[in-house]
Chain A
């Protein structure tokens, strides 16, 4: 039997490592979605009235919208009235610092390999952890505070920095943007907020770790990153969810604002539960991520390693408004079994001499479908805009699909846009060559896949890159004979 056939034969899925859940007392909203639920969430979070009004406005807009169907994915529509929109672990009071956090919650994160103990962390990474609907802890707040950096949960930011939230909330992803963004605006529960003041280079990586624990609960977090002029921050996002038979919805919004000469690096390792090997269960990951290079010479760089979720619908984008601003998108998306991913980016060139770079590496195995969808738009006054796009697809076996949907829209004749695309298969030849040098097949696949994705993995911060490499290997484990 040839190796290719074995790839298909042995397509068992590796057990999802983070599939467990924990029972603890929770504070939950009633099931369903209506104005009362939104008021309930807002009251629960002791929000000011402007925010409630903002939510209700978003809800009205959302009610007039329909779920988009243009993505190259097929799934059973979710009954949004059967979901719970708020679930939070019961804590006697909001923890002021990490020492006050319920040890049971800390244990959850320890089990995920995330230490919340500041002393124990080897590398300088400050972390905000979000469990279901709320942020449970943020580390290194004081250290960062000395530099004027604000890094806290979204709820806390609403209370302590309302002027910043009012100024930037919805400024990059308006509530009218799309169906899921509107839904998120109406029901979002928590998330992370970060503000880097003028001229400050954030000395450590900032990180948010999302975990869905409760059943039948949607997770709608909102992240807002504001990098004032000449500042720099590198931001990491990780996520997991328990293994459940039903599909769960994750509809997040991430907004990034970069002032003049500011740089934001945003890295994601997405490992939501992908469903089992027969395609049962898994997270619907319908996410809107967008950054605006508002000032001249600003730069936003998205790096994503997408290994999880049953269905992914996600296009981290850059609006290049400032002259000489730069947008980058580096992506590795792996799909196995019945996973479906429709992911890519939008680069919208508005300012002069703006540059964008897109490197997308898709890896499809099993019966999965993997699509790259990208748009490069050059507006009328964007003189000398440059774009380079590279979209590669790697196929394993012959039952999966790889698709590329590039859209190029140029309104300025001075634009230079390049697009390169390749499709390849992991060859029996490559695997045999590795075998002949003593490398076992599983390790050969990991080696080949990591080599293929190297350009993207190199963009990740060191600690994350190692994790991402392991995750790629794990996701594809068992997909070859």
Chain B
């Protein structure tokens, strides 16, 4: 589904990603872990098409299409969804109104008729249950005055509404208490299918107790330096990142 080859990206001339290679197949969950500043969030942003990042080398194929050639909105319409680490506030625009605009533009791109108000509302009702979100929240200005947990839940709700092929969760666990974490993870798990894939970007192993990954990759200094299964995450939880840093840094000096 997603094939990242030798991806290099920099911001304002400073290289952040230095040769990422990653294959993600339908039905898989991949966790990207790593110490702060290793490039995890940058990878998520580059895949979603954030303009501050300049891709200097490499290619990304998404369902056979050259992802990097697409505008951010077309990537979304093709089925790439990014759950933001810090969801953005849009005053005066309700989540409902925002999502209706988004969903209908996505549908138009896919050659589908726009959803009328009745169908849209019934779809909302169905997906609201999935992330245990209150309708009142959805009629408020998007993310404005939302608690950390509400923001993240709202991200997963949007994901449920837009039904993406590839979901990228950028530090979705940050700022969540244990109950919110459970609700958000349940939502993500229910949305998983054989035809979709998930990339979970996280600093801590905690989230991976709930969203169990098929593969775990450790990102350090802009490269994937270690890949494994969920046991790798547990090992990291126990030992921290220092042993990996040492391993990598010593090989680099040799």
Q: How far is the CA of A102 from the CA of B109 in the complex (A)?
A: 46
Q: How far is the CA of A440 from the CA of B48 in the complex (A)?
A: 14
* A412 within 8 Å of B (CB atoms): no
CB-based contact A447/B109 at 8 Å: no
Interface centre among B72, B77, B103, B162, by most chain A C-beta atoms within 10 angstroms, is B72
* A437 within 8 Å of B (CB atoms): yes
* A103 within 8 Å of B (CB atoms): no
B158: contacting residue among A437, A451, A453, CB under 8 A: A437
CB-based contact A439/B101 at 8 Å: yes
CB-based contact B50/A432 at 8 Å: yes
* B106 within 8 Å of A (CB atoms): yes
CB-based contact B106/A438 at 8 Å: yes
Q: How far is the CA of A285 from the CA of B81 in the complex (A)?
A: 47
From DSSP, what is the main secondary structure of chain A's interface residues?
Answer: helix
CB-based contact A437/B88 at 8 Å: no
Q: Could you mark each residue 1-37 of chain A with 1 if its beta carbon is under 8 Å from any beta carbon of chain B, else 0? A: 1110000000000000000000000000000000000
Chain A residues within 8 Å of B73, by CB: 435-436, 438-441
CB-based contact A447/B105 at 8 Å: no
Q: How far is the CA of A311 from the CA of B49 in the complex (A)?
A: 40
Interface extent on A, as a size class? Answer: 20 to 34
Chain B residues within 8 Å of A54, by CB: none
Q: How far is the CA of A11 from the CA of B162 in the complex (A)?
A: 32
Q: How far is the CA of A437 from the CA of B101 in the complex (A)?
A: 9
Q: How far is the CA of A317 from the CA of B102 in the complex (A)?
A: 40
Count of chain B residues with a beta carbon within 8 Å of a chain A beta carbon: 33
Q: How far is the CA of A1 from the CA of B12 in the complex (A)?
A: 11
CB-based contact A437/B102 at 8 Å: yes
Q: How far is the CA of A433 from the CA of B45 in the complex (A)?
A: 11
Chain A residues within 8 Å of B162, by CB: 437-438
* B116 within 8 Å of A (CB atoms): no
B84: contacting residue among A433, A447, A454, A455, CB under 8 A: A433
CB-based contact A453/B105 at 8 Å: no
Q: Could you mark each residue 124-143 of chain B with 1 if its beta carbon is under 8 Å from any beta carbon of chain A, else 0? A: 00000000000000000100
Nearest neighbor of A2 in chain B, beta-carbon distance: B51
CB-based contact A438/B51 at 8 Å: no
Known: A435-B71, A438-B73. A2 touches B52 (CB 8 A): yes
Binding site for B on A (CB under 8 A): 1-3, 427-430, 432-441, 443, 447-448, 450-455
Can you name 17 A-B pairs with beta carbons within 8 Å?
A: A427-B88, A430-B89, A433-B88, A434-B98, A435-B49, A435-B72, A436-B76, A436-B81, A437-B102, A437-B162, A438-B76, A438-B106, A439-B102, A440-B73, A447-B93, A448-B90, A453-B92
